Structure 1
Amino acid sequence: MALLALTVSAVSCDDLQELNVNPSFPVDVSAVSLMSPIEQQMARGLQFDNRFLGRYIQNFSNTATGNPWDRYGFVENSDQAGEIWRMTYFAIGLNLTKMQEKAIEEERHDITGISKVIRAWSWQVTTDYHSELIDLDQVFTQRLSYDYVGQEKVYAEVVRLLNDGLGDLARTDGRVSQAFTGVGDKMYGGERSKWTKFAYGVLARNLNSQINKATYNPDKVIEFCDKSLSSNADNAVIRFNGTVTDDSNFYGPQRSNLTNFRQTDFALRTMNGSIFTGAIDPRMSRVLVPSVGTSETAPSSAANPDPTKYTFNGNPLNTTASTVVTNVNRIPNLWGTYAPGSVTIPGRYLFRDKANFPLMTYSEIQFMKAEAAFIKGDKAMALDAYRKAIDASIDFVNSNTVPSSTFPITTLISAAEKAAFIANVNVVPAANALTLSQIMLQKYVALFGFGMLETWTDMRKYKYDNVNVYTTLNLLPNGGLFIDNNGKLPYRVRPRFNSEYVWNFEALKAIGGDKADYHTVEMWFSQQ
């Protein structure tokens, strides 16, 4: 016993702590080491949930009938559509807090600013998706249950964080270093000027969603847009190597997450000339996939495809129209095949293993400016921004197009195609003939496949107007709206089931989260 006592007394508390340190998984890391995985989670959260949100805005529909999301509903007792919540509170969550704390400790003011901008972006994304969020004074504390606060408080916190972040990004003292920050910053390579532009883009989104408020100021939106992304070179994109599953684009065929997704008939109408009076969008054949034409037998095996005989079709909501094998109008998946995804399928556009995923684009910023200028009554400014937005979107599509000589044959959009489309008065009219519908529908096209949340925010603030704004948008899918909607359209997505509904249900009841039609309650931002 004496020997045992002697042995124990010889081991100090410090020694025991060191025994629990794994050099392969350090518990104390520099701020820059946390940045890259945080940025990857920004893409992952959106991409996971875009599968469901893409049905609400009719980018995609499912190949089967009875899918609740195709009917503007939701799936009970499930984490479907809960990834953005998980991203904000778990995947990014305390990692971002730690990054900011370490940045302050290390006097890396640029990383401190980036931390605040990412936090603001995450709050903006999550509140625009879910509405009420965990009380900002209670989140990331030791509490075991949480209260929720409304969007008005969250929106104000977003603005505060962005202004603070902009102040930090402007600092040149301390240990600010683009070379150091760029090691972890895979989005902008440590360039503070581009993070500053991104921050102003989030500010523009924050204010531009409030067009129904008496406090809405289009001049401020225009100001923020002018300080935001100034070309496609400023686009905020998350990059994927595409060599292994874990580092492949979530949309790519290797991960096979979109096997049962098809382009919708509404998405097709925005590009095939149905809405824009015969003006066929050159982006259609690069972004959407053609059905079997008269010279093909099957997209995956056609020996001599003839693109002049391609036909483009869109799947209606809640039907099996795209899956009928004998139908010459059968619609391939977004990779251009009928097969489940695999590493051997090249994919196309943003639906490739190596495709970058955009968080914000210059085109989007110009569309916001066009909308704000239109509301202000400055049609000349609106037209100029609108034209620049379309031009930038076409260039963006080209930058994500891999030419192919097999089905579906794909080439880059030529300068002549681009010029002819922009010169078409049914697309780009004279300033006094420009309509809000043209602006919002062309923005819809530009954001197809990635900007689902921004598109849904627009649709909700215009109350799903399918007559004056989103012409021909289908608000009554086959089989009718989901039964729990009680005849209403969705305005929010329920918080994540396996955290909020399992562990914090009493607090959810206080905001009506226990009601079957909670997802149809209008958001603060869209109300007057």
Structure 2
Amino acid sequence: MKNIKKYIAAIGLLTTVVSCDNLQDLNENPSFPVDVSAQALMPPIEQQMAVGLQFDNRYLGRYVQYFSNATTGNDWDRYGYTANNDAGGEIWKMAYFSIGLNLTRMQEKAVAEERHDITGISKVIRAWSWQVATDYHSELIDFDQAFTQRMSFDYVGQEQVYAEVLRLINEGVVDLARTDGKVSSTYTAVGDKMYNGDRAKWTKFAWGVVARNLNNQINKASYNPTAVIEACDKSLASNADNALISYNGSVSADSNFNGPGRNNIATFRQTDFMVRVMNGDVFTGAIDPRMSRILAPSIGTSETAPASAANPDPTKYTFIGNPLNTTASSTTGPSRIPNLWGTFLAGSITTPGRYIFRDKASFPIMTYAEIQFIKAEAAFKKGDKVMALAAYKKGIEASIDFVNANTISSTTYPITTAISASEKSTFLANINVVPAEANLTMSHIILQKYISLFGFGNLEAWTDMRKYRYDNVNIYKTMAFPTSLFVDNNGKLPYRVRPRFNSEYVWNFAALQAIGADKVDYHTIEMWFSKP
């Protein structure tokens, strides 16, 4: 009893002591502040821009036939989805959680501190996130309800989202042009790891979002190719303007998601269609010099064990692709298909990797090549083939230069060198790749854009594919679809990805029913942007 009384007395003494101080101080940790500057919020927000795309690219890669699973029966290889699971839900998480309220706080802090450049960047990133999320999912949460204390949320249609993106971009560009207040590229650069505080580059990126937004609507009577071209001309002007998220690549936690150190894509194999658009099958005999730098070669018929070949001969390499929903063409022997790192093993931090599938490779959010292909498409739709051909050629040139910037030379299997000036000029001089103006087709433009986006721009490639309704006769020549589509597709191809399971189907199901997302084939409903 005496000990209990001592214990109670001690509690009383402690309570007395605590009451003398500010109780709020107990919840403060100086090492992990809860109130941080706008500058400090930028790095994790920019990193999450890449993470959202990288996670879901694993699934979109199958939809656009960049890569397939090494074995049969995968739901995504069959153009389906994984039911009752968050697979494919990272972009949703990015928009509403990983970036979400953090971006709101960054903008609020920037406004309060008169950091108008950061305010502008905040609005541009928000616009980009809405554009990405709607092009992936379609309807989004009502903007007036997002990031509030509500327990359920209603959805708005894609047309409203597209308008909101343009509104935010217009405001963001105005803010980026301001020079009053406490605008400082030096201050902003401390947190801005993508553009180092360069407002001009952020403005170009903003116009790139506009170009995507407007050009996605090519099937509508309101489509204005001149406005698209103007947006492209205000956007990225060279590869120096590419929006890139960088990685140190020294440990797994700070490595590119697609690199071998993270071992996230060990079971993926390049597809047969991706090989055909580069090996001369689609472009009539024109072998793309990028193929041997971005695709993984099989060892070839005169070689045996690639992992132990002392002097592999690159002229003996063959490039083989795996169709969707098919076991890799050969799992043993010289014609077996390597993974995207160019190996036949699980990845590790010591595996070199190749192209953008390296631990230290930067991840592109937007590239100059993409902008030029958008311009070429708009000019073609406008009827200006002179402009279209010029932009188309610039897009290919920029893509080749981008590949070279991400090529690590290797003297062992797979032997790799940078694309030489003569290889580049020979390829561009091939009339089957760069034809006369009169012979330029939309298929030329879309397929070269498709090649340039390989491995990172999966969402933009899928957006094009949906705009052209998976046309494998006039656009995506020789592309084939699995004969056994996912059972819930009812024989249809996908046009959207369901909202994230654990945040929406678990907690917000009534709102999903209102937009038809409770139906098993909801993912096959065509998007607003691609409709007339």
**Fold similarity call, TM over 0.5:** yes
Deviation at 1:472, TM superposition (A): 1.3
2:176 alignment counterpart: 169
1:271 alignment counterpart: 278
Change (3 A) 1:16 1:303: same
Instruction: Decide whether the 8 Å contact of 2:251 with 2:349 is kept in 1.
Output: no
Deviation at 1:515, TM superposition (A): 0.5
Q: What amino acid is the match of 2:255?
A: S
Change (3 A) 1:203 1:412: same
Cα distance in structure 2, aligned partners of 1:240 and 1:323: 34
Q: What amino acid is the match of 2:507?
A: W
Any stretches of 5+ residues in structure 1 without a counterpart? none
1:216 alignment counterpart: 223
Map 1:164-243 → 2, pairs under 5 A:
164-243=171-250
Match of residue 128, structure 2, among 121, 127, 133:
121
2:407 alignment counterpart: 401
Match status 1:76 vs 2:80: no
Match status 1:507 vs 2:511: yes
1:415 alignment counterpart: 421
1:463 alignment counterpart: 469
Cα distance in structure 2, aligned partners of 1:129 and 1:100: 25
Map 1:78-477 → 2, pairs under 5 A:
78-326=85-333, 328-475=334-481, 477=482
1:525 alignment counterpart: 529
Deviation at 1:214, TM superposition (A): 1.2
Deviation at 1:4, TM superposition (A): 8.4
Cα distance in structure 2, aligned partners of 1:323 and 1:16: 67
Instruction: Decide whether the 8 Å contact of 2:314 with 2:414 is kept in 1.
Output: yes
Q: What amino acid is the match of 1:268?
A: V
Q: What amino acid is the match of 2:346?
A: P
Match status 1:30 vs 2:37: yes
Match status 1:481 vs 2:485: yes
Matched residue SS, 1:489? coil
2:27 alignment counterpart: 20
Q: Encode CA deviations 1:54-101: one digit per residue, 9 max, x unaligned.
A: 000000100010001111101101111110011111100100001000
Deviation at 1:250, TM superposition (A): 0.2
Match of residue 53, structure 1, among 47, 60, 63:
60
Cα distance in structure 2, aligned partners of 1:273 and 1:176: 52
Deviation at 1:246, TM superposition (A): 1.1
Change (3 A) 1:4 1:424: closer
TM-score by length of 2: 0.97
- RMSD of aligned C-alpha atoms? 1.5
Deviation at 1:323, TM superposition (A): 4.7
Instruction: Decide whether the 8 Å contact of 2:301 with 2:335 is kept in 1.
Output: no
Deviation at 1:321, TM superposition (A): 2.8
Change (3 A) 1:10 1:333: closer
Change (3 A) 1:105 1:309: same
Instruction: Decide whether the 8 Å contact of 1:196 with 1:228 is kept in 2.
Output: yes
2:520 alignment counterpart: 516
Instruction: Decide whether the 8 Å contact of 2:258 with 2:356 is kept in 1.
Output: yes
Q: What amino acid is the match of 2:174?
A: G
Cα distance in structure 2, aligned partners of 1:467 and 1:308: 33
Cα distance in structure 2, aligned partners of 1:488 and 1:319: 19
Matched residue SS, 2:244? strand
TM-score by length of 1: 0.97
Q: What amino acid is the match of 2:399?
A: S
Instruction: Decide whether the 8 Å contact of 1:59 with 1:449 is kept in 2.
Output: yes
Cα distance in structure 1, aligned partners of 2:445 and 2:12: 79
Deviation at 1:296, TM superposition (A): 2.3
Matched residue SS, 1:422? helix
Instruction: Decide whether the 8 Å contact of 1:209 with 1:458 is kept in 2.
Output: yes
Stretch deviating more after TM superposition (9-18 or 177-186) = 9-18
Matched residue SS, 2:22? helix
Deviation at 1:299, TM superposition (A): 2.4
Any stretches of 5+ residues in structure 2 without a counterpart? 1-7
Instruction: Decide whether the 8 Å contact of 1:68 with 1:482 is kept in 2.
Output: yes
Q: What amino acid is the match of 2:166?
A: V
Cα distance in structure 1, aligned partners of 2:350 and 2:474: 44
Instruction: Decide whether the 8 Å contact of 1:295 with 1:305 is kept in 2.
Output: no
Change (3 A) 1:89 1:13: farther
Matched residue SS, 2:282? coil
Cα distance in structure 2, aligned partners of 1:487 and 1:309: 41
Q: Encode CA deviations 1:15-45: one digit per residue, 9 max, x unaligned.
A: 1111210011101000000000100000011
Cα distance in structure 2, aligned partners of 1:155 and 1:507: 20
